[in-house]
Structure 1
Amino acid sequence: MTVSKKYINRDLSWIEFNRRVLEEAEDPTTPLLERLQFLSIVSSNLDEFMSVRVAGLKDQLKAGFLKADFTGYTPHGLLKRVLKRTNQMVRKQYKDYRELMRSLAREGTVIAAWEDLSPEQMEVMTDYFQKIVYPVLTPMAVDSSRPFPLLHSKELYLAVVLKADPTDEKLKGQTFSAIVQVPSILLRTAGVPGRRNSRRATFLLLEDLIKQHIGQLFSGYTIEGAHAFRVTRNSDLALNEEGAEDLLQEIEKELRRRRRGFPVRLEVETGMHPDALDLLKDELEVTEDDIFEIEGPLDLTFLSKFASSLPNSEHLRYPPIDPVYPVEFEEEDQMMAVIRERDVLVYHPYESFEAVNDFIYEAAVDPDVMAIKMTLYRVNVNSALVKALAQAAESGKQVTVVVELKARFDEERNIAWARQLERAGCHVVYGLVGLKTHAKITLVVRREEGSLRRYVHVGTGNYNENTAKVYTDAGLFTCHPDIGTDASALFNEMTGYSTPHNWRAFAVAPVGLKPKLFDLIDREIGFAKAGKPARIVAKLNSLSNQSMIDKLYEASQAGVSIQLIIRGVCCLRPGVLGLSENVRVVSIVDRFLEHSRIMAFSGGGEEEVYISSADWMTRNLSRRVELLCPVYDPSIRQMLLNLLQMNLLDNVKARELASGGGYSRVAGGEEPLRSQFGASDIPLWKTVAIAAEEQG
């Protein structure tokens, strides 16, 4: 094969992933309001893709970069294909939106047009406009004395075309333009009082209400047209960390620059007035290829909040799942007493994130705890963890927090947490120059019987209790001495000038993680050549690093069985004769976002299992502080192996990657098996626990 045909392009693979999310919105077995949620996720995903990946391609073109990447695409050729495929996806998404709105209407809920309202309803909504909406609107005229305003990325606006009174001697019927922002502080959908004797729930989009009354903002003019539009700007940060005296201040400056990033996409309503469209094209300097004409409401991310807020609609949602508190910690009052006796695995969202909060809180109030060290990448609003860390620092404990300020789109929130922790007396470190700190680890140092014991939590996901309810992630509690020693060394490297450590348990990026993975794969290659069991199973979010893919190809050619569970991007082509015929790749898109990184290597018959914060992408392996941690406890190891096996056996929500780059649903099996719930809708954690118990 030519080099380019050996690999699937990363951006095209991402589009295929978002297409799988869209398929969940189209799946009639998915509850109706959850289908709306998936439509919202498609839009949110596409927003980030356009503002980062597409913006990056345009940056390359501006810089005159013409070289093809390892998949054979030049920036120009890739951009052309990406825009074509995303346009096709958006058209399909809005076709699905219209179908779902018809289904929702049959259930008694309607997002209505103004003309569909009764006179009484119009009167009530006009009153709502006058009292609530009108006071927060700001018309922005565009003329020689008032330049084109700065339009914020991903905010909704109306482009208004006005015509002056023809009897006005001065203006003589001239045409003018103005911009009105649809206020994001108000709900996008306004509830409309029902008609008499009707149980139908009616809503009106905020932009439709404003359009209907837009004349009040421009008295003396005739409204020729008012159409919604939305701009997506380049949102990638370009930091000069080495030249920055204060990283926090540098990021704050860069966030302000982000608001002025160059436009990469212009979304407009179908039928926009040509004068308004020409104005936007000229002022934003976008081409026809950058314009997405939308037949429906712009920015379907509003559907998430809308679907979540509808009352009396439980039958249109997934049945609720209440995370259980880990049974290991219910047997003792003190979590650390349990961890001294055995390692504990917590698997979210089936098991509660409260166990992590309680671990930090217990450490914060324990008089024998001397120090708490923690990495924070993405933290939720009103985080209990942050409050516990602040409490620990105020009580005199040594609290060190490595805050990643460069977590994309969470920069402002992380700056706020960093300042709050500093005020409480925590030592706040912003990581290493040029590297994002993506490892998820907590170290608690406790004085016990004249010596010190280290308690460690290592996770595959962020310390965020909100995402822990919708992401599948594993967290390991342990006081294994090798893991404790490595945890101390890792924090010393992140906060000081410590030289690279001779790791006992961990493998740490950017220096040691990739070589460790290569060593493990090479060992499997050796086992295969010696006729011993040789198998690799890896559960990841993404696989796009070329050298890692090449190493897996090498293992496949040596006879190693490789089974990959990769939710998102996968640049490896499986099933290619002579290259990857021993590789199988599946992707699971379901109710919860598959986020855990778990790897298993046969070890020639003595299986080894690891959890990690890292995907097998170039940025994770070479530009971030990432962590690979072994699982020593045999029962936990078996539980994770069972979990991987259930993912591989999924025949309900799994799709298998073909060598051509397309995905198709996995079929077969006498009984349907949905890995996120197991058989007969038993939650996965229960099924895994039962299987682990049966296997001893």
Structure 2
Amino acid sequence: MTKNVSQYVNRDLSWIEFNRRVLQEAQDVRNPLLERAKFLAIVTSNLDEFMSVRVAGIQDQMRAGLTKTDFTGYTPGGLWKRLIKRATQMVNEQYRTYREVFRGLSKEGIFIRSFDELNATQTKAVSEYFHEIVFPVLTPMAVDQSRPFPLVHTKELYLAVLLQREGDSTEEEPLFAIVQVPSILSRLVSVPGRTNSKKSEFVLLEDLIEQFINTLFNGYVPFSVHPFRLTRNADLTLDEEGAEDLLEEIEKELRRRRWGIPVRLEIGKGMHPYALETLREELEIEDNLFEIDGPLDLSFLMKFVNSLPGHDNLRYEKMEPVYPREFDDTDDMFEVIRQRDVLMYHPYESFEAVNDFVMQAAYDPDVMAIKMTLYRVSGQSALVQALAKAAESGKQVTVVVELKARFDEERNIAWARQLEKAGCHVVYGLVGLKTHAKILLVVRREQRTLRRYVHVGTGNYNDNTATSYTDIGLFTSHPVIGGDASALFNEVTGYSSPYEWKAFGVAPSDLKEKLYRLIDRERDNALAGNPARIIAKMNSLSNQEMIDKLYEASQAGVKIELIVRGVCCLRPGVLGRSDNIRVISIVDRFLEHARIMYFSNGGEEEIYLSSADWMTRNLTRRIELMCPVFDESLRQILINMLKLNLDDNVKARELKPTGLYETITEEGQEPFRSQFEARHIEKWKGRA
């Protein structure tokens, strides 16, 4: 490496590399074809959020005239150019992969057809569908002196239409109109099969509208029709201090999001220059233009794959989560947790156990109070219904709802209102801090005393994502953890003096400092000639001070292994600075989401579960939680889980000093895929 290379990898460039690893899953021929199509959809959704939040923020800095470099050495302008260049390369690669995947799907009888490929019967069928279903929903919007340019909604698909009056000369200036492709209808329209054919055939909704676009403009001749899609700045700007009602303030801000500053314009390949110039002028977007050779917004592939019947041979083998064995033969979960702590690994073990625990607490006459945090909740949450039932039965139910969970704000507002109507105490956290901790506390009366039962998780209380994210949940009745849990809720919901945590590390008060102490302890052990090791699994690592701490530990001889799925600003393997640090990322069928920290501690091993990534926002601007695992057998289970990840040589990618990721290949080594191995519950729980 040259001397002028920063000792840190830029956060946003690292994110681009993460999304490239997602794209590699779409390109991996070992993955079933329909699963590869899903990964193409995920690449699009990821890039949408990145553009609307991260790139939008960089553009705000550029507009403000900021030229100061960040800690990785980039100015906003320099970073913006590099990001757009890499994003453009990735999108081009994504669409090459799209064409490859659908060539493969066509061999399996799944086609997206163009109109000239349809026979007369099929053409008649889609024509009837257009006139009966699509046409009544469409609204052509002309742009002229009397009709200003309409509002273009973020991330919605539109058609830009150029027209001439019948009989006008082609030299006349074109007329311009837009038509929104209705998102309420499926992007892929099923085409009836050919005679004796088992093929699944579809046409794109925008192609169907284009084919019959003349029906929307009587007396005019459409001569150019091309799709476009706009991405706007989607970050919320809230004055929490001055907001009398946070719900109302967020609802207003969500409405304002529709008018966010344009960030990116995607257009179909070959758009007419006049149409493009009109869009650029009216939307006031000069740069960040993506010309797409294929259907815009491939996120539709997720819904398409999920709704496509049959073709199980083109999907991952179904995996049914098993119910945690510890709760298998009992109707009283409290009795089990009183006797021992219980660890769950989702999605291999069922999230239903959490739902059942809250439901049992709701109906148990000895339960006096239930308190929990909700960050992202599924559409039909059994937890919310159980909490409402508990409140209606007279229990004290307190729910800390995070209204500012990005892109889930509207759903969380709806649940908050439902819980309030049921009689729950709904709290919206502390001003300026997102509540990201995942914790559930049940207070129960037992033999003239009170006992606290706690569930701590690394992921959201969401039964949908619990089937597709890997996360850890811990049930415990340990009195020290119970005491800390009560103190945490008191700090969030009321006035409370700073609390001296007995077990927890809590952000923003002391989590960062506690992690520093744990890292420094390993450093001191290494300097004293004792074994020293850190294993940390998380989603992102971008806090400069935390990275510097890890560099210090590495220089002292601490062996550090990091499993970081997404952004990693640490540059490993640099001689004299980070040569004792190894970083891998695993992208596979399930989203790696658990946060687990291991410290060898001179042989007295310690393991922690956490809601927090090692990012500045998590350590300083969110309420986060790190909880120790006291049970020795459970600590060993978690170490086994970490070893599964570290041994992965199929889906793991290793971060090199260049900031790029490479596959892990060792000659003669048997393939080892950690997510496949993790399915063997009995094995990693040490029972086999």
The answer, yes or no, to whether TM exceeds 0.5 is yes
Q: Deviations over 1:525-558 (max 9, x none)?
A: 1111111110000000000000000000000000
- For residue 418 of structure 2, the aligned residue among 414, 417, 420 is 420
- Report the residue type matching 1:143 in the other structure: D
Counterpart Cα distance in 1 of 2:29 and 2:171: 57
Q: 1:272 to 1:17 in 2, by over 3 A?
A: same
Counterpart Cα distance in 2 of 1:394 and 1:551: 50
| Structure 2 gap ranges (5+) | none
1:125 aligned counterpart, secondary structure: helix
Q: Deviations over 1:42-65 (max 9, x none)?
A: 000000000000000001011111
Corresponding residue number in structure 1 for 2:118: 117
Displacement after TM superposition at 1:275 (Å): 1.5
Displacement after TM superposition at 1:115 (Å): 1.0
Corresponding residue number in structure 2 for 1:635: 633
- Report the residue type matching 1:560 in the other structure: V
Corresponding residue number in structure 1 for 2:41: 40
- Report the residue type matching 1:365 in the other structure: Y
Asked if residue 22 in structure 1 is aligned to residue 13 in structure 2, the reply is no
Asked if residue 197 in structure 1 is aligned to residue 229 in structure 2, the reply is no
Corresponding residue number in structure 2 for 1:385: 383
2:637 aligned counterpart, secondary structure: helix
Where does 1:643-654 land on structure 2 (aligned, <5 Å)? 643-654=641-652
Q: Deviations over 1:449-486 (max 9, x none)?
A: 00100000000000000000000000000000000000
Counterpart Cα distance in 1 of 2:221 and 2:322: 61
Counterpart Cα distance in 2 of 1:314 and 1:199: 15
Displacement after TM superposition at 1:693 (Å): 3.6
Where does 1:318-329 land on structure 2 (aligned, <5 Å)? 318-329=316-327
Asked if residue 152 in structure 1 is aligned to residue 176 in structure 2, the reply is no
Displacement after TM superposition at 1:687 (Å): 3.0
Counterpart Cα distance in 2 of 1:693 and 1:303: 40
Counterpart Cα distance in 2 of 1:150 and 1:685: 52
Counterpart Cα distance in 2 of 1:474 and 1:449: 32
Displacement after TM superposition at 1:606 (Å): 1.0
Contact (CA 8 Å) 1:165, 1:173: kept in 2 or not?
no
2:148 aligned counterpart, secondary structure: coil
- Report the residue type matching 2:27 in the other structure: E
Corresponding residue number in structure 1 for 2:218: 219
Contact (CA 8 Å) 1:652, 1:672: kept in 2 or not?
yes
2:455 aligned counterpart, secondary structure: strand
Corresponding residue number in structure 2 for 1:502: 500
Where does 1:551-562 land on structure 2 (aligned, <5 Å)? 551-562=549-560
- Report the residue type matching 1:126 in the other structure: S
Counterpart Cα distance in 1 of 2:349 and 2:199: 38
Counterpart Cα distance in 1 of 2:171 and 2:33: 53
1:361 aligned counterpart, secondary structure: helix
Counterpart Cα distance in 2 of 1:84 and 1:652: 29
Corresponding residue number in structure 1 for 2:249: 250
Contact (CA 8 Å) 1:507, 1:627: kept in 2 or not?
yes
- Report the residue type matching 2:494 in the other structure: G
Displacement after TM superposition at 1:347 (Å): 0.6
Corresponding residue number in structure 1 for 2:100: 99
Counterpart Cα distance in 2 of 1:351 and 1:429: 31
Corresponding residue number in structure 2 for 1:687: 683
Q: 1:114 to 1:490 in 2, by over 3 A?
A: same
Counting aligned pairs with the same residue, the percent is 67
Displacement after TM superposition at 1:174 (Å): 5.2
- Report the residue type matching 2:267 in the other structure: V
Counterpart Cα distance in 2 of 1:243 and 1:578: 50
- Report the residue type matching 1:252 in the other structure: E
Counterpart Cα distance in 1 of 2:179 and 2:463: 37
Contact (CA 8 Å) 1:369, 1:447: kept in 2 or not?
yes
Moved more, 669-678 or 456-465: 669-678
Counterpart Cα distance in 2 of 1:404 and 1:66: 34
Displacement after TM superposition at 1:670 (Å): 2.9
Corresponding residue number in structure 2 for 1:275: 274
- Report the residue type matching 2:50 in the other structure: F
Counterpart Cα distance in 1 of 2:193 and 2:264: 38
Corresponding residue number in structure 1 for 2:165: 164
Asked if residue 65 in structure 1 is aligned to residue 70 in structure 2, the reply is no
Displacement after TM superposition at 1:301 (Å): 0.2
Displacement after TM superposition at 1:677 (Å): 1.3
2:161 aligned counterpart, secondary structure: strand
- Report the residue type matching 2:672 in the other structure: L
Where does 1:302-313 land on structure 2 (aligned, <5 Å)? 302-313=300-311
Displacement after TM superposition at 1:211 (Å): 0.3
Displacement after TM superposition at 1:172 (Å): 10
Displacement after TM superposition at 1:294 (Å): 0.1
1:596 aligned counterpart, secondary structure: coil
Contact (CA 8 Å) 1:676, 1:684: kept in 2 or not?
no
- Report the residue type matching 2:132 in the other structure: K
Corresponding residue number in structure 1 for 2:543: 545
Displacement after TM superposition at 1:175 (Å): 2.0
Counterpart Cα distance in 1 of 2:562 and 2:584: 6
Corresponding residue number in structure 2 for 1:436: 434
Corresponding residue number in structure 1 for 2:513: 515
Moved more, 663-672 or 6-15: 663-672
Counterpart Cα distance in 1 of 2:135 and 2:86: 39
Counterpart Cα distance in 2 of 1:587 and 1:626: 23
Corresponding residue number in structure 2 for 1:671: 670
Corresponding residue number in structure 1 for 2:236: 237
Counterpart Cα distance in 2 of 1:531 and 1:172: 84
Counterpart Cα distance in 1 of 2:462 and 2:594: 14
Moved more, 59-68 or 368-377: 59-68
Counterpart Cα distance in 2 of 1:652 and 1:191: 37
Counterpart Cα distance in 2 of 1:648 and 1:562: 12
1:28 aligned counterpart, secondary structure: coil
Q: 1:470 to 1:180 in 2, by over 3 A?
A: same
Displacement after TM superposition at 1:198 (Å): 2.0
| Structure 1 gap ranges (5+) | none
Please, what TM-score do these two structures have when normalized by structure 2?
0.98
Displacement after TM superposition at 1:4 (Å): 6.1
Q: Deviations over 1:643-672 (max 9, x none)?
A: 101100111110000011010111126321
Counterpart Cα distance in 1 of 2:321 and 2:260: 41
Counterpart Cα distance in 2 of 1:214 and 1:283: 23
- Report the residue type matching 2:63 in the other structure: K
Contact (CA 8 Å) 1:164, 1:172: kept in 2 or not?
no
Displacement after TM superposition at 1:66 (Å): 1.0
Q: 1:501 to 1:167 in 2, by over 3 A?
A: closer
Where does 1:432-471 land on structure 2 (aligned, <5 Å)? 432-471=430-469
1:6 aligned counterpart, secondary structure: coil
How many residue pairs get aligned? The number is: 686
Root mean square deviation, CA, Å: 1.3
Displacement after TM superposition at 1:3 (Å): 8.4
1:677 aligned counterpart, secondary structure: helix
1:676 aligned counterpart, secondary structure: helix
Displacement after TM superposition at 1:197 (Å): 2.5
- Report the residue type matching 1:660 in the other structure: T
Displacement after TM superposition at 1:224 (Å): 1.3
- Report the residue type matching 1:211 in the other structure: E
Moved more, 626-635 or 329-338: 329-338
Counterpart Cα distance in 2 of 1:599 and 1:390: 35
Counterpart Cα distance in 2 of 1:484 and 1:206: 55
Corresponding residue number in structure 2 for 1:141: 142
Corresponding residue number in structure 1 for 2:32: 31
Contact (CA 8 Å) 1:165, 1:172: kept in 2 or not?
no
Contact (CA 8 Å) 1:4, 1:70: kept in 2 or not?
no
Q: 1:363 to 1:495 in 2, by over 3 A?
A: same
Corresponding residue number in structure 2 for 1:610: 608
Counterpart Cα distance in 2 of 1:496 and 1:487: 14
2:675 aligned counterpart, secondary structure: coil
Q: Deviations over 1:425-470 (max 9, x none)?
A: 0000000000000000000000000010000000000000000000
- For residue 590 of structure 1, the aligned residue among 588, 595, 601 is 588
Corresponding residue number in structure 2 for 1:50: 51
Corresponding residue number in structure 2 for 1:340: 338
Displacement after TM superposition at 1:173 (Å): 5.6
